[in-house]
Amino acid sequence: MITLIKSENGSASVEFIALALPLFIPLFIFLQQFAGVSAEENIARTLAREGARAYVSSSSDQSAEEMMKKVIMLAGKELGLTEEQFDRLAIELECSNSPCHSPNGKVQVTVNFSSDSQFRSVTASAQEYFSPWV
């Protein structure tokens, strides 16, 4: 029995579990947070791009903003946004000309997920141009 106590068989495994494993836990937490933010950034870019396309492809200024918001909401549902994420969602529209629907005009759509206790703020923008023959 004394020989078993003095034996060092398995001590490397015990040392790894006792010392190295707790060091990996913060790394796993960081990677999980990074993956969540990266996914939200990707969704924000997609929503901004689709919103800008919808705005430019609409027929008039009156229907364009409504169409853009509908497309962003439908695309968000399709991409799996939760109600909490929709609550954090803000959409901004910027036009280079007035009215927006004018030849060679530029539209920039910015999608922002505001920060909360779990996630940092995420912002993405996309721009589209109107045809010179509008």
Express each pLDDT in 88-100 by its tens digit: 999 999 999 988 9
**pTM across the whole model:** 0.79
Q: Which residue has the higher pLDDT, 11 or 66?
A: 66
Mean pLDDT (whole number) for 41-51: 96
**Is 94 within a domain?**
yes
Question: Is residue 134 in a domain?
Answer: no
3 pLDDT higher than 60: no
User: Helix, strand or coil for residue 7?
Assistant: coil
Strand order in the sheet with 122-129: 89-95, 106-113, 122-129
pLDDT at 118: 73
Helices (H) and strands (E) in the chain, counts: 5, 3
Count: domains in the chain: 1
Q: Is residue 2 part of a domain?
A: no
Q: How confident is the model at residue 114 (pLDDT cuts 50, 70, 90)?
A: very high
The span from the CA of 106 to the CA of 127, in Å, is 7
In a domain, 55, yes or no: yes
Tokens of 119: 């996630």
